Amino acid sequence: MTDTLSAEPPPMSPDGLVTETLLTPEGRADPYPRYRLLRDAAPVHHSELGPVWFLTRWSDCNNVLRDPRLGKGSLDADRAALFSPGLPPRQRSVMGNSMLFVNPPDHTRLRGLVSRGFTPARSPASRPTSAMADVIVERMAEAGEVDVMDALAFRLPVQVIGELVGVPPSDRDQFRVLVRNAAAALEPGVTDTQLDAAEHAMAVMDDYFRGLIARRRRDLDHDLTSALIAARDGDDRLTEDEMVATLILLFSAGFETTTNLIGNGLLCLLRNPDQFDRLRADPALVDSAVEEMLRFESPVQVDARTAFEPVEIDGHTITTGETVVTFLGAANRDPAVFPDPDRFDVTRHPNHPLSFAAGIHYCLGANLARLEGRVVFDRLTRRFADIAWLDNGPDWRGTLILAA
Ligand code: HEM
């Protein structure tokens, strides 16, 4: 008799895989098997749940992010595509004033003005960043046992971005909770309680940066806040609301994602001791190791665009107004671009992950984030002969858009 009931569950539908990835703790903690199944079954997947497509191949994601026929859509549509309700008012108005959520010509204008302030000359050169890392790593060595997320992964990026923006040391710690609460509003399936907390966090940050701008208007300094006040393009300059939105974006993006790069990167090394040994044996591999950490555990897993006109992808027509979700973490594991993609390999070359996105919204802080990653992993590998878990491994926060 061969006609018995199969013990195998039926294969999950593409929409089942998408919702499991976006909405369940297991899917968020380990989205990669689901990305793989989705890529195999429907790499350009038109959801039955709404006017939204999900992409999992590197080339499709890369093309969409670079294609001017697609761009930032209405916040509500993008959020609905990720199973989230609309944003509360303060958060909506702050986000609407930042370059991350707008299209040309507004994006070109904002990014141009901000880039004038965010020059390499103003970015902390590697020496101050190294000096900060040295102090932090020495403190860790003295303590012996530490919560690495707190003592290093949060501590270094918040110091670096704090110096850059001009937020004094005593004010920095409060932002850890504020930024985390505000960012929670971007996650799929966010609850009303989380939205209330996000709105409160945004209001506190909004007030804080208005105060900082007012102080710098009275007394200009050498920081980025002062540079934004002074930035001009002919007669054009940033409005007060645009400056506030930019400072909140830079400060939040400046440490939350980099914190996750450091935390996730260390996790990759601890889970792959042969690769940790390889890096220890050859510290010159640190740049390619950081790129591989960015690829393997992308700190930002999900990005989205909206079609402004019909666009064809691999024989499928995306119609005007539809949302296209690019799974960056899936693109980074696409076997067509990365041989043996589920292997963490600190020597991988070539390696062009989409972790900083692509096209006009390509991360403005990518070089700074890479610099911080390089300094941290250089110091860790040189300073410590052995790093081991104190408990059973990581405590995932259960987020996906900003994954940690
Ligand atoms: C590992 C760390 C980081 C990762 C993975 C990351 C990732 C990203 C991604 C994926 C985007 C594009 C979003 C989109 O297409 O909608 C982005 C944009 C941006 N990032 Fe980062 N980021 C990191 C660190 C930073 C840092 C350190 C800063 C600032 C100091 C920063 C500032 C920005 C800004 C201003 C944008 C908006 C650019 C635009 O819309 O034109 N990021 N980042």
CA–CA dist 61, 301 (Å, integer): 12
Residue 342 included in any domain: yes
259 lines ligand 1 (CB under 6 A): no
299 lines ligand 1 (CB under 6 A): yes
The domain tally of the chain equals 1
Nearest CA to ligand 1 atom 27: 254
Is the preceding omega at residue 51 within 30 degrees of 0, hence cis?
Answer: no
Residue 171 neighbours by CB distance under 10 Å: 12
Is the preceding omega at residue 350 within 30 degrees of 0, hence cis?
Answer: yes
Res. 40: pLDDT tops 80: yes
How many angstroms is it from 258 CA to the middle of ligand 1?
A: 10
213 lines ligand 1 (CB under 6 A): no
Residue 403 included in any domain: no
Which pLDDT score, from 0 to 100, does residue 121 have? 54
Reported as type and span, the H/E element at residue 142 is: helix 126-143
Report the mean per-residue pLDDT for the chain: 91
Nearest CA to ligand 1 atom 39: 361
Mutational pocket test of ligand 1: of 62, 363, 377, 399, the residue with most ligand atoms within 8 Å of the beta carbon: 363
Mean pLDDT on 247-255: 90
The minimum-distance atom of ligand 1 relative to the CA of 110 is 41
Mean pLDDT on 85-114: 93
Q: Please report, to the nearest 10 degrees, the dihedral formed by the alpha carbons of residues 214, 217, 223, 228 taken in order.
A: 90
79 — pLDDT class (breaks 50, 70, 90): confident
For residue 353 the two structure tokens come to 């992950």
CA–CA dist 102, 306 (Å, integer): 12
Residue pLDDT, tens place only, 138-156:
999 999 889 999 999 999 9
Residue 238 included in any domain: yes
Q: What is the distance in angstroms between the CA of the first residue and the CA of the last residue of the chain?
A: 49
Residue 269 included in any domain: yes
111 lines ligand 1 (CB under 6 A): yes
* Residue 128: CATH number of its domain: 1.10.630.10
Task: Please name the residue that has the structure tokens 């979700």.
Answer: 325
Domain hosting 312: range is: 14-383
Q: Are 66 and 80 in contact (CB under 8 A)?
A: no
Nearest CA to ligand 1 atom 7: 356
Q: Which CA distances in Å does 346 have to 76, 92, 333?
A: 40, 40, 15
CA–CA dist 148, 259 (Å, integer): 10
1 — pLDDT class (breaks 50, 70, 90): very low
Q: Which CA distances in Å does 176 have to 180, 283, 298, 382, 399?
A: 6, 31, 20, 28, 15
Which residue has better confidence, 57 or 116?
57
Residue 324 backbone phi and psi in degrees, to 5: -120, 115
Residue 391 included in any domain: no
The minimum-distance atom of ligand 1 relative to the CA of 99 is 40
Strand, helix or coil for residue 370: helix
313 lines ligand 1 (CB under 6 A): no
Residue 268 included in any domain: yes
Residue 401 included in any domain: no
CA–CA dist 311, 101 (Å, integer): 21
Mean pLDDT on 307-331: 97
Which pLDDT score, from 0 to 100, does residue 82 have? 84
How many angstroms is it from 7 CA to the middle of ligand 1?
A: 45
Mean pLDDT on 307-314: 98
253 lines ligand 1 (CB under 6 A): yes
Which residue has better confidence, 109 or 401?
109
Q: Which CA distances in Å does 202 have to 15, 93, 249, 255, 377?
A: 33, 10, 11, 16, 32
Q: Among residues of the chain, what percentage have pLDDT more than 70?
A: 92
How many angstroms is it from 147 CA to the middle of ligand 1?
A: 26
Res. 2: pLDDT tops 50: no
For residue 262 the two structure tokens come to 């450091």
Residue 400 included in any domain: no
Which pLDDT score, from 0 to 100, does residue 282 have? 97
Mean pLDDT on 191-212: 95
Mind giving me the DSSP string for 12-81?
Answer: PPHHHHHHHHHHSHHHHH--HHHHHHHHHH-SEEE-SSSSEEEE-SHHHHHHHHH-TTEE---HHHHHHH
Which pLDDT score, from 0 to 100, does residue 21 have? 94
CA–CA dist 172, 159 (Å, integer): 8
Which residue has better confidence, 55 or 144?
55
98 lines ligand 1 (CB under 6 A): no
Res. 126: pLDDT tops 60: no
Task: Please name the residue that has the structure tokens 């960043």.
Answer: 129
Residue 262 neighbours by CB distance under 10 Å: 28
Nearest CA to ligand 1 atom 1: 258
Q: Are 266 and 380 in contact (CB under 8 A)?
A: yes
